Amino acid sequence: MSYHSLRDAVNDLERNGMLLRIREEVDPDLEMAEIHRRVFDRQGPAILFERVKGSPFQAVSNIYGTFERTAFLFRHTLDRVKRVIELKKDPTAFLKKPGRYLGAPFTAISALPSRNWFGAPVTYGTTLIDQLPQIKGWPMDGGAFITMPQVYTEDPDAPGNVMQSNLGMYRIQLSGNDYVPNEEVGMHYQLHRGIGVHHSKYNTLDRPFLCSIFVGGPPSHAFSAIMPLPEGLSELTFAGMLAGRRFRYLRRDGHLLSADADFVITGEILKDMRKPEGPFGDHLGYYSLAHDFPV
């Protein structure tokens, strides 16, 4: 089964008794996060918040909350992807076990990113940043954050080449501090990361550093953004393999959009501007303090 959207995955989890709906209104300021943590600590189900205070949109959490549920989401593709990764790491494995790896090249080729020329649901409407669920996880957080974004940038040495792009997960601060509401968001990343390498290159060029932030979409997309992949295997191809369906994208005004995302935030990373980002309650058990990061 290939998920075409996050909604497909939510429905599948619910059919199999792995998702809980909360129909009462829930406040994204601390309350949602506390509910999530308590359910996660008990290895409970995924959670669909149907009514998020201050937002017209629903939110889902904890879909990767247990190893078993994560394996369930990728149950139809995990073994095939494992074979491709094994072969990528050690091409001689094909000579040792040709039967095991015979289909691996087809798995990889059939998962290459596919451009959509005729629009996609993600383009059917627009909204403002402050209309998204403004989720604040801890009392001292500097504002609301997207904690599982997929941040897409392209190498300026290969503009338009999706196979040399970077899809990473770097936290995004939506509000608070000195950010201009609905116009600026905070970007938290280090220069040694893929996006940081792109940033350093753009600093030497007289070209805008375009960026797209995908929220939601099939579960494989967010998962791919955090994976330490073998050299030469793009995150978009890996997302396609893990989904059993190519990563579909389109272009608008120079930006690449994930056709299957729930939301896409597009903009330009300002090469010479920094603003305080944070504090942020880190998963390691302490607050990352406010420091200057890109906008």
Q: 254-272 burial by CB neighbour count: b if 16+ within 10 A, else e?
A: ebbbbbbbbbbbebebeee
Judge residue 88's burial from the number of C-beta atoms within 10 Å of its C-beta, 0-12 exposed, 13-18 middle, 19 or more buried.
Answer: middle
Average pLDDT (163-185) is 96
Q: How confident is the model at residue 97 (pLDDT cuts 50, 70, 90)?
A: confident
Q: How confident is the model at residue 284 (pLDDT cuts 50, 70, 90)?
A: confident
Beta bridge partners of 60: 48
pLDDT at 43: 97
Show the beta-strand stretches assigned E in 80-141: 114-115
Cis before 279 (ω within 30): yes
What count of Cα atoms within 13 Å lies in the side-chain half-sphere of residue 205? 13
Nearest to 87 by CA among 72, 99, 74: 99
pLDDT at 191: 76
Predicted TM-score (pTM) of this structure? 0.95
The domain segmentation of the chain, as residue ranges, is 1-73, 111-294
pLDDT greater than 80 at residue 100 = yes
Average pLDDT (185-206) is 90
d(CA 131, CA 215): 14
DSSP-derived letter for residue 162 is G
Residue type, 230: P
Show the beta-strand stretches assigned E in the chain: 19-26, 46-52, 59-61, 114-115, 145-146, 150-153, 166-168, 172-173, 186-187, 209-215, 248-252, 255-258, 263-269, 274-277, 280-281, 287-288, 291-294
d(CA 15, CA 9): 10
What angle, 0 to 180 degrees and rounded to 10, lies between the N-to-C axes of helices 78-89 and 235-243? 140
Q: 53-69 burial by CB neighbour count: b if 16+ within 10 A, else e?
A: eebeebbbbbbbbbeeb
Nearest to 225 by CA among 200, 261, 254: 261
pLDDT at 33: 97
pLDDT greater than 80 at residue 94 = no
Q: What average pLDDT does the structure give for the chain?
A: 94
Catalytic residue among 90, 178, 282, 292: 282
Count CB-CB contacts under 10 A for residue 132.
23
pLDDT at 145: 98
Q: How confident is the model at residue 192 (pLDDT cuts 50, 70, 90)?
A: confident
Model pLDDT for residues 119-161, shown as the tens digit of each residue? 888 999 999 999 999 999 999 999 999 989 999 999 999 999 9
Q: What is the largest CA-CA distance in the chain?
A: 59
Average pLDDT (235-263) is 96
pLDDT at 233: 85
d(CA 242, CA 247): 10
pLDDT at 99: 78
Average pLDDT (217-237) is 91
How do beta strands 291-294 and 145-146 pair? Answer: unpaired
Q: Could you confirm whether 155 is annotated as catalytic? A: no
pLDDT greater than 90 at residue 272 = no
pLDDT at 228: 87
Model pLDDT for residues 27-69, shown as the tens digit of each residue? 999 999 999 999 999 999 999 999 999 999 999 999 999 999 9
pLDDT at 104: 83
Which fold is adopted by the domain 111-294? Answer: Pnp Oxidase; Chain A (2.30.110)
pLDDT at 105: 82
d(CA 84, CA 59): 33
